[in-house]
Amino acid sequence: MAATNKSFLPQQGAYKQLIVFKLATCIYALTYAFAHRYFSRGDRTIDQMVQAARSGKQNIAEGSVAATTSREMELKLTNVAKASMHELLLDYEDYLMTHNLQQWSLDDPRIRQTRAFCRKHLEETVYQQAVETRSAETVANIAITMLHQFDVLITALIERQKQRFLREGGIKEQMYRARKGERR
């Protein structure tokens, strides 16, 4: 009986250990600094970009915590995080286009270098400092690279969440199994 009670509704919310959450936090820090540096005060794009980055980060956290009682909500919120970051990706691409700046091609050596760097550095301050020392073109391309990395990681997280749902079911199924086990 005790084993059943311990496994019933295990608390979720270990999102701070997820690489995708750490990357989302870095993207948020970079975006906040970028938007406030390269857009004029009062430009609505600042709020839109910062809120999209914030949504990407916050929805991972909220979905992770909600998973205790709702795998469906976890999946929905994780997918909202993915959608928000896609919106942000378009904002960075639009910035480059509207300012006649170059978006690095996939075979550009700077992309490979940035990917490798971002895999090893998941501290917000690194990216905030990059905004201060690099050009708008470079920072926007770093952000785009990070957003592509985020997309790969969030897609894998969504797939793991789907598989866990298929294995364990939702809250009602878990409650039924726990109650049935308790009766034995």
Please report the pLDDT score of residue 68 as a whole number.
Answer: 79
d(CA 70, CA 30): 32
Q: What's the first-to-final CA gap in the chain, in angstroms?
A: 8
Residue 184: pLDDT band with limits 50, 70, 90: confident
Q: How far is CA 161 from CA 69, 85, 133, 135, 154, in A?
A: 14, 19, 39, 38, 10
Locate 103 and state its tokens. 């978006």
d(CA 45, CA 141): 18
Please report the pLDDT score of residue 10 as a whole number.
Answer: 59
For tokens 């979720």, the residue is 12
Q: In sequence order, which residues have a C-beta less than 8 Å from that of residue 143 and are 6 or more positions away? A: 27, 30, 31, 34, 88, 92
The 8-class DSSP code of residue 39 comes to: S
Residue 6: pLDDT band with limits 50, 70, 90: low
Please report the pLDDT score of residue 164 as a whole number.
Answer: 86
Locate 160 and state its tokens. 């793991």
Encode pLDDT of 31-89 as tens digits. 999 999 999 999 999 999 999 999 999 999 999 998 878 888 999 999 999 999 999 99
Angle value at C-alpha 133, between 127 and 138, nearest 5 degrees: 70
The number of residues making up the chain comes to 184
d(CA 126, CA 134): 12
Residue 172: pLDDT band with limits 50, 70, 90: low
The H or E element that residue 88 is part of is helix 71-98
d(CA 91, CA 27): 13
Locate 117 and state its tokens. 């760097």
User: Which pTM value belongs to this model?
Assistant: 0.86
d(CA 26, CA 130): 11
Encode pLDDT of 91-104 as tens digits. 999 999 999 999 99
